[in-house]
Amino acid sequence: MNTQSIIERIHSVIGVRESFTPLHIPIFDEREVDLLRECVESNMVSSVGAFCDRFEASLVEFTGAKRAVLCMNGTSALHLALRVCGVEPGDEVMIPSLSFVATANAVRYAGAIPHFIDAEAVRFGMDPLALEKRLDAVGELRDGALYNRETGRRIACVVPMHAFGHPVLISELLAVTNRFGLQLVEDAAESLGSFYEGQHTGNFGVCGILSFNGNKVITTGGGGALLFNDDALADRAKYLSTTAKRPHKWEFFHDELGYNYRMPALNAAMGCAQMEKLPKMLAQKRALAERYRQAFAGLEGLRFVTEPEGCQSNYWLNALLLDEDSVDQRNAILEATNAANIMTRPVWAPLDELPMYADCPKGSLDVTKSLAQRLINIPSTAGL
Amino acid sequence: MNTQSIIERIHSVIGVRESFTPLHIPIFDEREVDLLRECVESNMVSSVGAFCDRFEASLVEFTGAKRAVLCMNGTSALHLALRVCGVEPGDEVMIPSLSFVATANAVRYAGAIPHFIDAEAVRFGMDPLALEKRLDAVGELRDGALYNRETGRRIACVVPMHAFGHPVLISELLAVTNRFGLQLVEDAAESLGSFYEGQHTGNFGVCGILSFNGNKVITTGGGGALLFNDDALADRAKYLSTTAKRPHKWEFFHDELGYNYRMPALNAAMGCAQMEKLPKMLAQKRALAERYRQAFAGLEGLRFVTEPEGCQSNYWLNALLLDEDSVDQRNAILEATNAANIMTRPVWAPLDELPMYADCPKGSLDVTKSLAQRLINIPSTAGL
């Protein structure tokens, strides 16, 4: 393997282009403009409006969740999810170290402390064995709740994340959380269109969250949603997202600390148009991944990342995984590909290495540290 | 005064209508659709894009601030403002009790505690005399900072709010905050287009915040902005609003706890179109207020609220203020007007009466309590 051989293989898939090829950009056509126009003409562009209901209904239909609740973005959705699950200030929430910073930030917004768990090597998501090992090591059942005996704090919740859209070992994770009486929230920010044994990600725990940021499979400019299979929890999330205002024809009375987290109808209108093209975009993204898989087949020193067994991935971001002994070539590959107008980037810095999370509790993170040196994302836009 | 005489006067201004007349709705035309189309066609709909820069530039031009930083909404803007001003968990922030709940919520998001100050009777904003009296009563200077001697907490900041768009006595408030070495942040969520002695609200303290919620003078669906006259503070707000990500061509490294608070370009595109019609809408709103003023002139038992001396108000929400001895008629007026298809509503419940803020420190709130029983908002849409 050398950097030129990687560039050639990417070129063989996406073509040789004059202009810079970004990692992931949205696909729009006249339909987005039409629905934005319809929204503007309805005069209901803010947090109440038919397009909010319509986008929520289309998410319900696509994911099979009972309820969807729109939000400003995936970060605010995760913050709400933790509040709805009863995470309290001073609690610990177990999350992967290999994730975007929003996963940890949302824990902090809830006043809780991230507790980092290692990734497994195939799917890059939270490793059920690492979770179980860590809970066995530090967990202590007291008064019907699980406590971290080293910190004295309650362990409130576990939040796996489906990295790049590849589903985690969710059944195995649920077996562990059930054994310890913990709630599970799925950070499905990257996995709209990803299924685990036929069931959409985000539907396995107490709730799941989605993101429609500009770089995601579909976008609403900025946006997110919570998925629920329980009406009361969904109602509570919606209530908290609309400043916890008690229903009244004119009174402004708020019962508890709420948020201004509701997605505007304007953004929801774009979401409705995007949902119509989601199946086609997913098919295009799978076809692109298959072409990458073939192009990289047989190249020594790395493997192209494919969907895990029993799963259907949305292939949100395609990735190359360098072999352990090719790790020192990563920066050269990043430099050369970007210089060749092909956007590539490494995975996130492990969250436990960020200054504000450096003192948080954590299990062994050996797999995370290895993956963080070896993963490279390559252009993944549908239709490339 | 009776309820019928109020309905007749409102009808004399806005006409007798078959359909329900809301309090405030946005005004759109083809221009919003055109700019939304341009945004979609640019493919830059998310948190980076030309429309973000353009909307910020138009806010700078209109308000005279040195810098504007776009945000998800006024609430997130205020949260960022407090962080930029160095408000720390456990600090106290002095805010009016007579405000929308977001003012207090933002203080809580920063981990701080609201400390409620009374309103003055003419402008409904924070009373400089009440602020000074309270600071004299509980303030204690120690190690260069002001502490509340009753709670032991640092008093970090003062946040007046320009209620309904009528400027507070900002010069007098600044004299008090300067005397005590406190920072002042203006909650100008309701006062885009309101000027105090010729200077736009939001430009007097360390920073100010605006809101573009669906019910405001202009709307972006949901949105807000911070106004600064200091580049370093503006840069810091923008950095915190974009997950505190360190600039790098591919690395994801975040220095501190940040937020996903940046306004999407899609919403900014609508903001650009709205800014073009702001001068006309402000003129229409002033004309509407003048017609209301004339219609209610001479009616016993209440007065129509007009802009304070030396100020130009945006007349965001028009209001009637009942005399003290007419207060028992308020609910009858609200019932009768809404039954007559004219939307009216009382002002917010004083924030110190909400359960989550009931235990917060506060000065005397006599004026607030009186105003809260006597204010009624009436339809205020530009062009009514």
A62–chain B nearest CA distance, Å: 24
Q: How far is CA A351 from CA A354, B1, B16, in A?
A: 5, 65, 61
Q: Which residues of A touch B219 (CB under 8 A)?
A: 45-46
Q: Which residues of B touch A214 (CB under 8 A)?
A: 44-48, 264
For residue B252, give the nearest of A260, A338, A349 by CB distance.
Answer: A349
Instruction: Name the strand (E) or helix (H) holding B208.
Output: strand B207-211
**Among A252, A261, A338, A345, the residue to mutate for chain B (most B Cβ within 10 A):** A252
Q: Is the pLDDT of residue B310 over 90?
A: yes
CB contact (8 A) between residue B40 and residue A46: no
A367–chain B nearest CA distance, Å: 19
For residue A251, give the nearest of B220, B260, B349 by CB distance.
Answer: B349
CB contact (8 A) between residue B222 and residue A36: no
The residue in chain A having the minimum alpha-carbon distance to the alpha carbon of residue B75 is A260
Which pLDDT value is given to residue A199? 98
Q: How confident is the model at residue A96 (pLDDT cuts 50, 70, 90)?
A: very high
Which pLDDT value is given to residue B52? 98
Q: Are B376 and B346 in contact (CB under 8 A)?
A: yes
Q: CA torsion angle for A81, A83, A89, A95 (degrees, to 10)?
A: -10
For residue A219, give the nearest of B46, B258, B262 by CB distance.
Answer: B46
B208: nearest Cα among B29, B55, B37, B67:
B67
CB contact (8 A) between residue B252 and residue A102: no
| Phi, then psi, of B104 in degrees rounded to 5 | -75, -40
Which pLDDT value is given to residue A252? 82
Q: What pLDDT digit, counting tens, does each position of B121-177 carry?
A: 999 999 999 999 999 999 999 999 999 999 999 999 999 999 999 999 999 999 999
C-alpha span between A114 and A111 (Å, rounded): 10
Q: Are B265 and A221 in contact (CB under 8 A)?
A: yes
Q: What is the mean pLDDT of residues B306-322?
A: 97
Q: Which residues of A touch B75 (CB under 8 A)?
A: 259-260
Give percent of chain A above pLDDT 90: 96
Q: Which residues of B touch A102 (CB under 8 A)?
A: 243, 260
Q: What is the mean pLDDT of residues B266-289?
A: 98
How many CB atoms are located within 10 Å of the residue B206 CB?
18
Q: How confident is the model at residue A249 (pLDDT cuts 50, 70, 90)?
A: confident
Q: How confident is the model at residue B373 (pLDDT cuts 50, 70, 90)?
A: very high
Q: What pLDDT digit, counting tens, does each position of A71-89 carry?
A: 999 999 999 999 999 999 9
CB contact (8 A) between residue A41 and residue B25: no
Q: Is the pLDDT of residue A111 over 90?
A: yes
Architecture of domain B30-276: 3-Layer(aba) Sandwich (3.40)
- CA-based max dimension of chain A: 68
Residues contacting B256, CB < 8 A, separation 6+: A355, A356, B240, B244
Q: What is the mean pLDDT of residues A214-220?
A: 96
Q: What pLDDT digit, counting tens, does each position of B176-206 carry?
A: 999 999 999 999 999 999 999 999 999 999 9
Single-letter code of the amino acid located at B340: A
Q: How confident is the model at residue B292 (pLDDT cuts 50, 70, 90)?
A: very high
Q: How confident is the model at residue B251 (pLDDT cuts 50, 70, 90)?
A: confident
**Among B241, B254, B262, B341, the residue to mutate for chain A (most A Cβ within 10 A):** B254
CB contact (8 A) between residue A76 and residue B266: no
The SS3 of residue B36 is helix
Q: Where are the domains of chain B?
A: 30-276
C-alpha span between B102 and A128 (Å, rounded): 40
CB contact (8 A) between residue B354 and residue A270: no
Which pLDDT value is given to residue B343? 96
**Sheet bearing B311-312, strands edge to edge:** B199-200, B195-196, B311-312
Residues contacting B101, CB < 8 A, separation 6+: A243, A245, A252, A254, A258, B348, B351, B354
Q: With 0-12 CB in 10 A as exposed, 13-18 as middle and 19+ as buried, what is B248? A: exposed
Q: What pLDDT digit, counting tens, does each position of A197-215 carry?
A: 999 999 999 999 999 999 9
For residue B75, give the nearest of A260, A346, A348 by CB distance.
Answer: A260
The residue in chain B having the minimum alpha-carbon distance to the alpha carbon of residue A39 is B33
Which pLDDT value is given to residue A48? 87
B140: nearest Cα among B153, B131, B158:
B153
Q: What is the mean pLDDT of residues B88-93?
A: 97
The SS3 of residue B47 is coil
Which pLDDT value is given to residue A248? 85
Q: Are A250 and B253 in contact (CB under 8 A)?
A: no
C-alpha span between A217 and A275 (Å, rounded): 10
CB contact (8 A) between residue B255 and residue A354: yes
CB contact (8 A) between residue B108 and residue A28: no
Q: What is the mean pLDDT of residues A316-328?
A: 96
Q: Is the pLDDT of residue B14 over 80?
A: yes
Q: What are A185's strand-pairing partners?
A: A207
Q: How confident is the model at residue B2 (pLDDT cuts 50, 70, 90)?
A: confident
